[in-house]
Structure 1
Amino acid sequence: MAASFRVSAGIVAALGLMLLASACAPRQSARSVPQAPPAPHAGALLFWPNRDPIQSACLNDLQATGAQFELIAQAEPGKDGCTLQNGVKLIRSSLTLNRPVELTCPMALRLVQFEQEVLQPEAQKLFGQSLVQLNHAGGFTCKAMTGNGSRISEHGHGRAIDIWGFMLGDGTRLSVAEQFRARGREGQYLREMNRAACRYFSVVLGPNADAAHAKHFHWDIGQWKRCGA
């Protein structure tokens, strides 16, 4: 009985100390303790004004590539049938651009993906250095399709871009007009990259397609399919 009493007394003493410590501790209200905001979810979408979820998802994917761009207000079809939906003004893709270009978000995203997955790795492999600049002749512009004046070009919907060349890190210029048919690495690179573009874009045109594309590449993501590389 004595041993049992000593254990019980020890428990009581311990409880007493705990209650005393609680009573002596400074009291704080819940309001006086700042609450840390919840950590943002890694996959959370940013808010893009006047964009539906599908459009917003594209804008988030484009932003994740590191591209620099500005939103363009949604445009209703004009009198010639041209329009630009979910458009962006691409200031810098994964490369420096010779000037900003207006495209739909899906077209801008496809261009950046092609740069990162094909153009840049192949430049490193062939030249031992990076591409630093993409030179283009325009994206969104209201005009008819080449050879078919009754149909709006994909440029008229912001789904196309015309490329006339690139520049390497050491300043070497790669020109479609001057080097596409040339021997050596420059011509090889231009020909191979335009063929590779057929895996990423719906219509790919260049000097091998027709005279209208003798000096530039046309890449678009329209509904028609043609690999004229």
Structure 2
Amino acid sequence: MPRLFLLAAVLAATTAIAAPDNPPVPLPKPPQADRTPAAGPPVPAEKPKEKQAPAAPEPEKEKETAAPAEPPPPPPPPVETEDRAAFEACTAELKSLGAAFRTLPRIDDGNGCGIDKPVAMTRLSAEVAIEPEVTARCETLLQLAHMTRDLIEPAARLGLPDMGRLKAVHQASGYVCRKRNGAETGKISEHARGNAVDISALEFEKGPVPMKIAASEAPDLAAAFQRTLNAAACLYFTTVLSPGSDDAHRDHMHLDVMKRTGGYRYCR
């Protein structure tokens, strides 16, 4: 027992000597893997995304439609059938005037062009030729023959007394399949129906007299003669386009027998 008390006293004294004045500070524990890291500065929470209104649907594009096609032009009328009795009366009258002509087979060139009973003429009377030979309807040539006998010859004796006797009428166009004024489009010409003839000049014993523009103020007899033809031709033909009436008729006279409502005539 005394030994045990002595050992305890020695141990107590030893502990009292070794203990420092300040007790040791425990070291911080190393961070554990599962510990939450130190929080940084507070991060503001994300604003909730605003709900956007649904985009308005794009207006439907107007469907592109092709321009309506132009309606096709009406088909040209067929070649007009001529009355046989009227035709025979016409040719009989031509013979009585001393005209030289021959009848031809029916012409049908399509597109409305043609003559049911065409006539090819070389002389308007025993005294006056038509050059070159012209093909047209009998009615067209009969009116020209009458106008030559009743108007051109007596007017020339007064207006062109120094030119001598009328020998020939020069024609620039009879039957020809084409549009008016030779255009690509438009109405068919009366030439294409055999209803028209163009006069370019008159041939006298002393030479030719061309169809030309006659100013209204021109004082000479030649101009008076041309103006007389321009006006009086409308007594025989339903259409008269005198020289200078438009750009297409500057050097010839157009004559035709086109039928119009009420007997209307177009002369200029």
Relative to the length of structure 2, the TM-score reads 0.61
Give the aligned CA root-mean-square deviation in angstroms: 2.1
Secondary structure of 1:150 counterpart: coil
How far apart are residue 219 of structure 1 and its match?
A: 0.3
- Could you tell me which runs of 5 or more consecutive residues in structure 2 were left unpaired when the two chains were aligned: 1-81
**Structure 1 residue 159 displacement after superposition:** 0.8
> Helix, strand or coil: the match of 2:88?
helix
Aligned pair count?
176
Residue 158 of structure 1 is aligned with which of 194, 197, 218?
Answer: 194
- Give 5+ residue unaligned stretches, structure 1: 1-49
Q: Could you tell me which amino acid in structure 2 is paired with residue 226 of structure 1?
A: Y
Aligned-residue sequence identity (percent) comes to 27
Paired with 1:51 and 1:203, the residues of 2 have a C-alpha distance of 23
Q: Would you tell me which structure has more helix in proportion to its own residues?
A: 1
Deviation at 1:51, TM superposition (A): 7.7
Q: What CA distance in whole angstroms lies between the structure 2 residues aligned with 1:170 and 1:214?
A: 24
Offset from partner CA, 1:125-181 (integer Å, 9 cap, x none): 22334211111101000011137932111100111011111122222x21124x644
1:80 and 2:115 are equivalent in the alignment: no
> How far apart in 2 are the matches of 1:207 and 1:105?
25
Distance 1:201 1:51, change over 3 A: closer
Whole-angstrom CA distance in 1 between matches of 2:142 and 2:130: 15
Superposition map of 1:1-229 within 5 A? 52-76=84-108, 78-94=109-125, 95-128=128-161, 129-146=164-181, 149-171=185-207, 173-177=208-212, 180-181=214-215, 184-224=220-260, 225-228=265-268
State how far apart, in whole Å, the 2-side matches of 1:99 and 1:214 are: 20
Distance 1:160 1:59 in 2: 17
Q: Following the alignment from structure 2 to structure 1, what is the Cα–Cα distance between the partners of residues 86 and 243?
A: 36
Contact 1:62 1:109 in 2 (8 A): yes
SS in 1 for 2:170: strand
Question: Tell me, what secondary structure is at the counterpart of 1:152?
Answer: coil
CA contact (8 A) 1:174 1:186 kept: no
Q: Larger C-alpha radius of gyration, 1 or 2?
A: 2
Asked if structure 1 preserves the Cα contact closer than 8 Å seen for 2:160 and 2:225, the reply is no
Match of 1:4 in 2: none
Shift of 1:206: 2.0
Which runs of at least 4 in structure 1 moved beyond 4 Å after TM superposition?
A: none
Counterpart residue identity of residue 130, structure 1: R
